[in-house]
Copies of this chain bind each other. A is one copy, B any other.
Amino acid sequence: MNRKIYSLLIPLTFFTFLIFTETNLNAQQLPSEKIQRYSELAGKIVRSALLDKKGYEWLKELCSIGPRLSGSENSSKAITWAKNKMKECGFDSVWLQPVMVPKWVRGKIEKAYISKSKKYLNKKLTIVSYGGSIGTSKAGISGEVIEVKGLDEVKNLGDKAKGKIVFYNRPFDNGLLNTFEGYGKAVDQRINGAIEAAKVGAAGVIVRSVQSNYDNIPHTGVMLYEDNVKQIPSAAISVIDADFLSKAIKTEPNLKITIKMDCKSYPDVESYNVIGQLTGNEKPNEVIVVGGHFDSWDKGCGAHDDGAPCLQTMEALDLLKRLNIKPKRTIRCVLFINEENGLRGGIEYGKYSSNSFEKHLAGIESDRGAFTPRGFSVTTDSLSLMKMQSWLPILNKAYIEWIRKGGSGGDVGQIKNAKALFGYVPDDQRYMDVHHSDNDVFAAVHPREMELGSAAIAIMSYLLSEEGL
Contacts and interface: CB of A to CB of B under 8 A. Distances in A.
Interface of A: 4-5, 8-9, 11-12, 14-15, 18, 46-48, 50-51, 174-177, 179, 212, 372, 374, 397-399, 401-402, 427, 429-430, 446, 448-449, 452
Contacts of A448: 174, 179, 212, 429-430
Given A18-B18, A372-B429, A401-B374, A46 B12 contact: no
Contact of A449 (B4, B399, B429): B429
Given A5-B5, A372-B372, A51 B175 contact: yes
7 contacts: A4-B5, A8-B9, A8-B12, A18-B18, A177-B452, A429-B449, A430-B448
A401 B399 CA distance: 11
Nearest to A396: B177
Nearest to A433: B446
Nearest to A53: B174
Residue among A11, A18, A398, A449 with the highest chain B CB neighbour number at 10 A: A11
By DSSP majority rule, is chain A's interface helix, strand, loop, or mixed?
helix
Given A14-B15, A50-B174, A401-B402, 12 more contacts: A11-B12, A50-B176, A50-B177, A177-B397, A177-B452, A179-B448, A212-B448, A401-B401, A429-B446, A429-B452, A430-B446, A430-B449
Contacts of A427: 372, 427
A51 B449 contact: no
A401 B402 CA distance: 8
Contact of A12 (B12, B174, B398, B446): B12
Given A15-B11, A429-B372, A446-B430, A175 B4 contact: no
Residue among A5, A12, A212, A399 with the highest chain B CB neighbour number at 10 A: A399
The oligomer's copy count stands at: 2
A179 B51 CA distance: 13
Closest 3 CB pairs of A and B: A47-B175, A401-B401, A51-B175
A174 B51 contact: yes
A398 B175 contact: no
Nearest to A430: B446
B372 A177 contact: no
Contacts of A9: 8
A187 to B, nearest CB: 18
A309 B328 CA distance: 47
A175 B50 contact: yes
Nearest to A19: B11
A457 to B, nearest CB: 16
Contacts of A429: 372, 446, 448-449, 452
A372 B449 CA distance: 13
A8 B18 CA distance: 15
A18 B177 CA distance: 39
A176 to B, nearest CB: 8
Contacts of A401: 374, 401-402
Contacts of A398: 177
Contacts of A14: 15
A23 to B, nearest CB: 14
A46 B449 contact: no
Contacts of A452: 177, 429
A59 B452 CA distance: 30
Contacts of A449: 429-430
Contacts of A15: 11-12, 14-15, 18
A374 B427 CA distance: 10
Contacts of A5: 4-5, 8
A427 B374 CA distance: 10
A447 to B, nearest CB: 8
A421 B445 CA distance: 35
A58 B47 CA distance: 38
A179 B448 CA distance: 10
A427 to B, nearest CB: 5
Nearest to A8: B8
Contacts of A174: 50-51, 448
Residue among A8, A18, A46, A177 with the highest chain B CB neighbour number at 10 A: A177
Contacts of A51: 174-175
A177 B11 contact: no
A11 B12 CA distance: 8
Nearest to A212: B448
